[in-house]
């Protein structure tokens, strides 16, 4: 092998081949084995057919600028030359055929321009997030591109094309994003709030040569609070299902306790709330029956068999048990045989009375009829007649109340009031009486407000503000239909028109409405809240609270206001952080740090605080 000087930046490598006598050689042809990349060995080959017998190949490798390539070597008997580029500057490669006497027979050159590797960054989602669909009672998997704040997010870097040797990555992030543990090509990041994280990465080979760089923006859209609320609703439903299983296995106390915890976890779940109410009602019946059976045992110990029998029968009506019939049978055998017939009649009458007390009138009638079939009793016949009359009145009351409820939902308050009054007349009901009083108050307030709007309209009309006057008359009609407003509207509408975007206020805008109105607003607000329209939902919740105040709604509106305030603060801080990121990238470190500090006043951010601390400020 010979090394022939080219210049101080050129390394010449020659391999002599001794075979047959020299002959005239053709010009060498250089072949590159693939595209050259920085930091990775490149191999070039010369066409061996042009090497003269007994001659050799001489290589010259020299950069046109920058650094000399690393690890230059010959292979395959001198036909291949291998080297590692250290940067992207072009490299000149010359291959010459030398005869046995050392004369250059022919030569050729090639210019090789190394390229940096492309560094790609991708989010690795090993298990997509799941949220609870309360309406379908099942989990649903979110799209893999939905990432959650304040949790580790896995990123993976890769080189294109594949790098054949060992490599390392150096990661960098914006001030609002924390870099966590790194494992080979993977790294974990975390951002405390929703927003966009900026990630940059640079690749190096084992000798520290830069292979390339890349960057990515990771959009984090899911707040932790949404995930936590979903987990609470899921746990609530699971607790509710377990409570039902406990109830079926007759662990009533544990079932009610677990159902109560489910309701606390998801207080707005109507199915759980209604189920808990039904379970609590049944549990009350169970405890009542249990107390009756305990009292019956004490009465039997005192040999008061008839009274004990009454308690056992009432307990079996309120809460039947498998052994109840046997207990009653045993108590019956303890009663004197001579009074057996009377006791059987008493049993039927007492059972009927128990059904009667529980408002189970049809069963009561059946047992009263069976009682008088054994022993005639005018008192029982009179009671049966009163029950039949009561059932007729209850049926009428239920019909009137149902019709009244339908009319109230349609906004026909006066007609609803008339039906409610008829219902109370048939079947006195304290709750319905209270509702009637509330409805009368609403009607009175709406009439007064309609009259006030009419007066405002008339005053505006006298001042020739006809369009505003017409708006007041329309509002008066919307609050409560009245002839005065209707007549004024017909008169003014001949010459005056309201703008298409005119907002006509209704009863709810004046804090006037029924509990049904409030329920409708709450349902509409719930729908807006589910769609993320927090401001619009809060406005409707407040209107509902003005109509039907409740401590629960007051607390919910306060919580929603806090969520809106928190959201606005996070968004404002994110805007400041984004602006500060741009300043920092532009080299305006002081201005960036000042703006980072301002963002902390808007909303605390642990990652930003840590970033400022690392800057020594």
DSSP 538-603: HHHHHHHHHHS--HHHHHHHHHHHHHHHHHHHHHHHHHHHHHHHHHHHTT-HHHHHHHHHHHHHHS
577-585 — which CB contacts under 8 Å span 24+ positions?
A: 577/174, 577/175, 577/176, 577/195, 577/605, 577/608, 578/195, 578/196, 580/175, 581/174, 581/175, 581/176, 581/198, 584/175
Q: Give 184: exposed, middle or buried? Use CB within 10 Å, 0-12, 13-18, 19+.
A: exposed
* 11-112 shares its CATH topology with 518-614: no
Domain range annotation of the chain: 11-112, 118-222, 228-335, 430-513, 518-614
| % residues pLDDT > 70 (the chain) | 94
- For 68, phi and psi rounded to 5 degrees? -65, 140
518-614 sits in which CATH class?
mainly alpha
In this predicted structure, the answer to whether residue 4 has a pLDDT above a threshold of 70 is: no
* Sheet hosting strand 167-173, strand order edge to edge: 167-173, 195-205, 210-220
The whole-number average pLDDT for the span 428-451 is: 83
The whole-number average pLDDT for the span 21-42 is: 73
Tell me what pLDDT residue 167 has: 93
Of 264-273, 296-305, 387-396, 397-406, which has the strongest mean pLDDT? 264-273
Three-state secondary-structure class, residue 164 = coil
CB atoms within 10 A of CB 605: 23
Which of 227, 232, 231, 287 lies closest to 256, judged by CA? Answer: 287
Determine the Cα–Cα distance for residues 349 and 309; give it in Å rounded to an integer.
12
Token code pair at residue 178: 């924390």
Q: Give 153: exposed, middle or buried? Use CB within 10 Å, 0-12, 13-18, 19+.
A: buried
Residues constituting the chain: 617
Determine the Cα–Cα distance for residues 380 and 378; give it in Å rounded to an integer.
5
DSSP type of residue 71: E
Give the gyration radius of the chain's Cα atoms. Answer: 45
For 11-112, CATH gives 2.60.40
Over the stretch 583-611, which tens digit does the pLDDT of each residue have? 989 988 899 888 989 988 888 888 888 88
Over the stretch 96-120, which tens digit does the pLDDT of each residue have? 888 888 888 888 888 999 999 999 9
Alpha carbon distances (Å) from 353 to 68, 320, 332, 393? 109, 16, 18, 19
Over the stretch 458-508, which tens digit does the pLDDT of each residue have? 999 999 999 998 899 998 888 888 999 899 999 998 888 998 888 888 887
Tokens 């595209």 locate to 35
Tell me what pLDDT residue 617 has: 57
In this predicted structure, the answer to whether residue 125 has a pLDDT above a threshold of 90 is: yes
The whole-number average pLDDT for the span 353-370 is: 86
The DSSP bridge pattern shows strands 153-160 and 70-75 to be: unpaired
Tell me the whole-structure pTM to 2 decimals: 0.49
Tokens 């870097």 locate to 157
Determine the Cα–Cα distance for residues 511 and 545; give it in Å rounded to an integer.
9
Q: Which residues of 242-261 are buried (b: 16+ CB within 10 A; e: fewer)?
A: bbeebbeeeebeebbebbbe
Q: Residues with Cβ < 8 Å from 524, sequence gap 6 or more? A: 540
The whole-number average pLDDT for the span 54-64 is: 83
The whole-number average pLDDT for the span 86-99 is: 89
Which residue did the predictor score with more confidence, 10 or 324?
324
Over the stretch 441-459, which tens digit does the pLDDT of each residue have? 788 888 888 899 999 999 9
Over the stretch 289-348, which tens digit does the pLDDT of each residue have? 999 999 999 998 887 888 998 999 999 999 999 999 999 998 888 866 546 777 788 888
Q: In this structure, which topology does domain 228-335 adopt according to CATH? A: 1.25.40
Over the stretch 576-589, which tens digit does the pLDDT of each residue have? 999 989 998 998 88
**Which CATH code of 2.60.40.1080, 2.30.30.30, 3.40.50.2020, 3.40.50.300 fits the domain covering 118-222?**
2.60.40.1080
């Amino acid at each position: 092998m010979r090394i022939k000087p080219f210049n101080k930046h050129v390394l010449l490598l020659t391999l002599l081949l001794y075979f047959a006598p020299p002959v005239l050689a053709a010009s060498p042809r250089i072949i590159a084995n693939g595209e050259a990349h920085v930091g990775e060995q490149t191999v070039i080959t010369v066409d061996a057919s042009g090497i003269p017998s007994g001659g050799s190949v001489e290589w010259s490798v020299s950069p046109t600028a920058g650094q000399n390539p690393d690890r230059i070597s010959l292979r395959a008997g001198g036909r291949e030359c291998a080297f590692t580029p250290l940067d992207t500057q072009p490299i000149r490669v010359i291959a010459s055929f030398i005869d046995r006497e050392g004369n250059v027979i022919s030569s050729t050159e090639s210019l090789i321009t190394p390229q940096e590797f492309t560094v790609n960054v991708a989010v690795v989602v090993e298990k997509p997030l799941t949220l609870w669909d309360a309406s379908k009672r099942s989990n649903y998997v979110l799209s893999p591109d939905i990432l959650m704040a304040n949790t580790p997010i896995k990123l993976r870097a890769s080189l294109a094309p594949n790098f054949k040797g060992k490599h390392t990555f150096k990661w960098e992030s914006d001030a609002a994003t924390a870099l966590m543990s790194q494992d080979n090509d993977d790294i974990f990041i975390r951002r405390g709030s929703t927003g966009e994280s900026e990630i940059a990465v640079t690749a190096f080979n084992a000798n520290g040569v830069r292979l390339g760089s890349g960057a990515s923006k990771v959009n984090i859209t899911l707040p932790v609070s949404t995930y936590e609320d979903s987990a609470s609703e899921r746990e609530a439903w699971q607790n509710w299902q377990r409570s039902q299983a406990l109830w079926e296995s007759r662990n009533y106390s544990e079932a009610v306790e677990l159902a109560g915890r489910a309701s606390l976890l998801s207080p707005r779940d109507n199915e759980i709330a209604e189920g808990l109410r039904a379970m609590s009602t049944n549990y009350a019946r169970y405890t009542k029956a249990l107390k009756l059976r305990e009292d019956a045992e004490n009465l039997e110990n005192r040999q008061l068999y008839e009274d004990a029998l009454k308690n056992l029968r009432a307990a079996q009506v309120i809460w039947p048990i498998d052994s109840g019939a046997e207990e009653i049978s045993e108590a019956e055998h303890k009663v004197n045989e001579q009074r057996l017939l009377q006791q059987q009649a008493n049993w039927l009458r007492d059972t009927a009375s128990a059904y009667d007390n529980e408002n189970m009138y049809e069963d009561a009638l059946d047992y009263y009829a069976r009682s008088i079939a054994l022993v005639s009793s005018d008192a029982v016949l009179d009671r049966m007649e009163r029950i039949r009359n009561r059932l007729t009145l209850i049926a009428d009351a239920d019909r009137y109340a149902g019709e009244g409820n339908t009319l109230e939902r349609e906004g026909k308050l006066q007609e609803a009031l008339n039906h409610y009054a008829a219902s109370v007349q048939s079947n006195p009901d304290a709750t319905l009486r209270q509702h009637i009083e509330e409805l009368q108050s609403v009607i009175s307030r709406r009439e007064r407000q309609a009259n006030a709007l009419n007066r405002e309209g008339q005053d505006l009309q006298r001042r020739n503000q006809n369009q505003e006057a017409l708006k007041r008359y329309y509002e008066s009609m919307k609050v409560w239909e009245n002839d005065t407003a209707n007549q004024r509207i017909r008169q003014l509408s001949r010459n005056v028109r309201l703008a298409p975007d005119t907002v006509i206020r209704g009863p709810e805008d004046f804090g006037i409405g029924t509990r049904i109105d409030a329920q409708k607003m709450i349902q509409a607000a719930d729908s807006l809240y589910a769609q993320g329209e927090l401001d619009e939902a809060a406005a409707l919740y407040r209107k509902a609270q003005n109509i039907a105040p409740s401590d629960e709604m007051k607390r919910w509106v306060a919580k929603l206001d806090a969520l809106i305030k928190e959201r606005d603060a996070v968004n404002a801080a994110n805007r400041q952080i984004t602006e500060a990121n741009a300043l920092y990238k532009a080299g305006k470190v002081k201005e960036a740090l000042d703006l980072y500090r301002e963002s902390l006043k808007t909303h605390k951010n642990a990652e930003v605080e840590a970033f400022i601390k690392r800057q020594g400020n």
